[in-house]
């Protein structure tokens, strides 16, 4: 019995050992297969990740290019708003130059006649008139030159360089240009322009092209708002009014642009500075004007705020009637 049991146990353990060895080989084969599958999957995943990353990079580049194109389109749109206004503004000094040139030619002819007669004193008096005319020609020539330079500054690429700038002059310049630009497109449009500039501000250090774009955008929007209310209103006594003012504080100066349009509803007030948000009809706004203006003011260390009223009241009173006020705050750096 012990020998038979020993033989039986030896035989059983032998078979089990062979079975375990076979299963171990199967496990090794499965392990190798799994390793091969995992390796293949890893390579596939790596390729997919590379492809997705490449696609995302391409999409990002396309998005950046589109964004740049939209920003450039917004800048060109604001430049378009200026074109007609600039043409009107530059025509005025050129008319003066032409008129004074003609008068000066006539005076020269008259002075020559007096000199031929020997009337020296009379000729001297005429020469003084010619001198005054030449001074006026120079003055209006410089005025035209300043308008052209302002246009070039607005259209050129921003270098980001700050300059000492007369804020009052900048705001007044863009107010007139925006108004005449709108008038050139719509002869029926008319508005009352109110200004209140703080002469104590002097010159402050800003990027004039940037702040000029912001002021132009706010003024253009203000004209759009009052014109929209006029077209919608049945009130014949309504007077479209846009007001631009400046004020000096201890550490900041403020530029305010007010209108007595319909105001901005509360449900969209939080969205007006978001990119691509616009209340204008399709084709009349990119939705980037206020967004870019907000970013520009921030980049110049300032703040852009809005106050609005949509309640009924006296339409000629900013405080009681409808209307919107945008306030630019800029630090005083001298």
pLDDT in tens, 98-117: 888 888 888 888 888 888 88
pLDDT the model gives residue 316: 44
pLDDT the model gives residue 135: 86
pLDDT the model gives residue 193: 92
Please list, residue by residue across 203-224, b when 16 or more beta carbons sit within 10 angstroms of its beta carbon and e when fewer do. ebebbbbbbbbbbbbbbbbbbb
Cα separation, 219 vs 54, whole angstroms: 44
Element (H, E) at 303: strand 303-309
Question: According to DSSP H, which parts of the chain are helical?
Answer: 2-117, 120-155, 167-185, 208-232, 266-269, 289-299
DSSP type of residue 157: P
Pairing verdict, β 163-166 and 203-206: antiparallel
Cα separation, 112 vs 105, whole angstroms: 11
Of the spans 169-173, 174-178, 181-185, 321-325, which averages the highest pLDDT? 169-173
CATH topology of domain 158-334: Heat Shock Protein 90 (3.30.565)
Q: φ, ψ for residue 333 (rounded to 5)? A: -125, 110
Cα separation, 296 vs 211, whole angstroms: 7
Cα separation, 270 vs 276, whole angstroms: 13
Name the 3-class secondary structure at 202.
coil
Segment 41-67 shows an average pLDDT of 79
Q: Quote the pTM value.
A: 0.59
Cα separation, 239 vs 194, whole angstroms: 12
Contact 240, 226 (CB under 8 A): yes
Of the spans 23-27, 143-147, 324-328, which averages the highest pLDDT? 324-328
Cα separation, 81 vs 61, whole angstroms: 30
Name the 3-class secondary structure at 197.
coil
Residue 24 has pLDDT above 50, yes or no: yes
User: Where residue 275 falls among pLDDT bands split at 50, 70, 90?
Assistant: low
User: Where residue 285 falls among pLDDT bands split at 50, 70, 90?
Assistant: low
DSSP type of residue 72: H
When the pLDDT of each residue in the chain is averaged and rounded to a whole number, the result is: 78
Lowest model confidence (mean pLDDT) among 18-32, 42-56, 169-183, 215-229: 18-32
Segment 283-307 shows an average pLDDT of 77
């Amino acid at each position: 019995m012990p020998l038979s049991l020993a033989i039986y146990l030896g035989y059983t353990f032998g078979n089990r050992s062979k079975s375990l060895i076979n299963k171990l080989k199967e496990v090794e084969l499965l392990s190798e297969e799994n390793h091969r599958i995992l390796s293949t999957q890893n390579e596939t995943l790596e390729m997919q990740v590379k492809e997705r990353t490449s696609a995302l990079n391409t999409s990002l580049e396309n998005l950046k290019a589109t964004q740049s194109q939209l920003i450039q389109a917004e800048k060109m749109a604001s430049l378009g708003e200026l074109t007609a206004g600039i043409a009107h503004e530059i025509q005025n000094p050129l008319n003066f130059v032409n008129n004074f040139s003609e008068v000066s030619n006539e005076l020269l002819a008259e002075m020559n006649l007096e000199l031929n007669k020997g009337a020296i004193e009379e000729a001297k008096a005429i020469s003084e008139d010619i001198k005054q005319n030449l001074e006026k020609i120079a003055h209006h020539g410089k005025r035209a030159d300043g308008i052209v330079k302002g246009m070039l500054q607005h259209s050129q690429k921003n270098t980001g360089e700050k300059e000492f700038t007369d804020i009052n002059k900048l705001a007044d310049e863009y107010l007139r240009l925006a108004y005449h630009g709108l008038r050139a497109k719509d002869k029926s449009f008319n508005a009352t322009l109110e200004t209140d500039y703080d002469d104590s501000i002097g010159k402050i250090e800003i990027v004039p092209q940037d702040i000029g774009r912001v002021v132009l955008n706010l003024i253009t929007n203000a004209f759009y708002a009052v014109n929209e209310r006029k077209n919608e209103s049945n009130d014949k006594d309504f007077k479209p009014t846009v007001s631009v003012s400046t004020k000096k504080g201890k550490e900041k100066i403020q530029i305010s642009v007010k209108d007595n349009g319909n105001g901005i509803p509360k449900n969209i007030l939080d969205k007006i500075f978001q990119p691509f948000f616009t209340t204008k009809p399709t084709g009349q706004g990119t939705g980037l004007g206020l967004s870019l203006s907000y970013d520009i003011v921030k980049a110049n260390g300032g703040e852009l705020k809005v106050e609005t009223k949509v309640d009924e009241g006296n339409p000629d009173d900013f405080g009681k009637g409808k209307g919107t006020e945008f306030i630019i705050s800029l630090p005083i750096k001298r």
